Amino acid sequence: MAANLRNKPIDRRRLSMQDRATYRPGARMQAASRASQRIGQQAQRRNAPPRTVEQKPGTGGFTQGIAIQQQRLREEGAKVKRSEALRPEVDTPNY
């Protein structure tokens, strides 16, 4: 898909000796290949369906951060200590 690319071969017979020595046809083909790739990428981007979901940085507001988690873990630890303190002390286990 080489749209509007001027990529015809160059007649080296018409070049000067210095130009003939520095002329590299591979570079011309590589440049044409890159241009064709860019055109294809742009066409693919144009034809892709638009994004319908916006992405915003962060968590999206579902969590309030590490402080909430730390507080919840402190409360769980206090609950465990409280339940252990309410258990009766047993000298001999039942097992």
Residue 35, judged by CB atoms within 10 A of its CB (0-12, 13-18, 19+), counts as: middle
Number of helical (H) and strand (E) elements in the chain, helices listed first: 3, 0
Q: How many domains does the chain have?
A: 1
Q: Is residue 67 part of a domain?
A: no
pLDDT value of residue 87: 84
Which residue has tokens 């507001």? 61
pLDDT digits (tens, 9 = 90+) for 31-88: 888 988 999 999 999 999 988 877 766 666 666 778 888 999 999 999 999 998 888 8
Q: Is residue 7 part of a domain?
A: no
Decide if 23 is inside a domain.
yes
- Residue 69: predicted pLDDT: 86
In-domain check, residue 22: yes
37 occurs within a structural domain = yes
Residue 19 counted as domain residue: yes
Q: Would you state the pLDDT for residue 77? A: 95
65 occurs within a structural domain: no
Its domain, for residue 31, covers 12-44
77 part of a folded domain: no
> Rounded CA gap, 68 and 61, in Å?
13
